[in-house]
Amino acid sequence: MKLAFTKMQGAGNDFIVLDACHAQFALDAGQIRRLADRHFGVGCDQLLVVEPPTREASAAGADFRYRIFNADGGEVEQCGNGARCFVKFVHAKGLTTKREITVETLGGMIRPRLEQDGEVSVDMGAPVPEQPLLQTIVVDDAPVELAILSIGNPHAVQRVADVNAAPVGVQGAAIEHHPRFPKRVNAGFMQVLDPQRIALRVYERGAGETLACGTGACAAVVSGILRGLLVSPVAVETRGGRLTIAWQGGDNAVWMKGPAQTVYEGVVEI
């Protein structure tokens, strides 16, 4: 089977994007892992699928359904950098002319908007902090304080003194698979540079460390605002580029703005 795809990236977080608006998506977890493999496949952090909305979501105003599969083949609730690529993709493919679209995800409705400067803003919905926000777990016999919250998907964010020296690979994996998180979690490592700027690295559930994580950036900023460390809007410096996150607190939506680009298009044999 030959499969047409588009390779895209948002702040270095890279994706394979598939159009399933007119043909049913039928890849299994093994095929997704093969596609995501950077040596034997195309290579990506996540595979994104564009589908028509379900009947219920369409009645609620959704234009598309957005499905996200991590590199390990597992389907997940949300991906912020992917959402920015999603709106660029549906415009480029002529699937919509709307600059702002409503998109159904497993984590709820989101609203990506194509801005005049070519970047994309996304209404990521209201965050859901756990109570209490700050919780301590033991990782490798040492206590780690985490801010735990959801941006449509689960995040555990810790503050570090130097993000470049943080043990993201080892500790991130341990936090992802910690018994405290039976469905696993995205592990964020946040360095506060000033009240409106942070540096961030994220070990993503099912993908490992990525160059950027949109929902991770949202989670880090929300946690920092709730802790009194940050003031909206906040510039988030990732290894793949800068994102801007704004949140006015309470039940207000988190807004994320950043780049999204097509890298190339191709056909791969499955």
18 and 5 Cβ atoms separated by less than 8 Å: yes
The residue annotated as part of the active site, out of 44, 79, 85, 218, is 79
Total residue length of the chain: 270
Q: Quick count: other Cβ atoms within 10 Å of Cβ 158?
A: 21
Verify whether residue 44 is a known catalytic residue: no
Report the candidate in 179, 224, 176, 227 with the shortest Cα–Cα distance to residue 198: 224
181 and 173 Cβ atoms separated by less than 8 Å: no
The whole-angstrom separation of Cα 47 and Cα 54 is 20
Which residues, 6+ apart, have CB-to-CB distance to 25 below 8 Å?
A: 18, 49, 51, 67
The residue annotated as part of the active site, out of 21, 44, 85, 213, is 213
Verify whether residue 218 is a known catalytic residue: no
Helix, strand, coil shares of the chain, percent, nearest 5, are 20, 45, 40
Positions marked catalytic: 79, 213
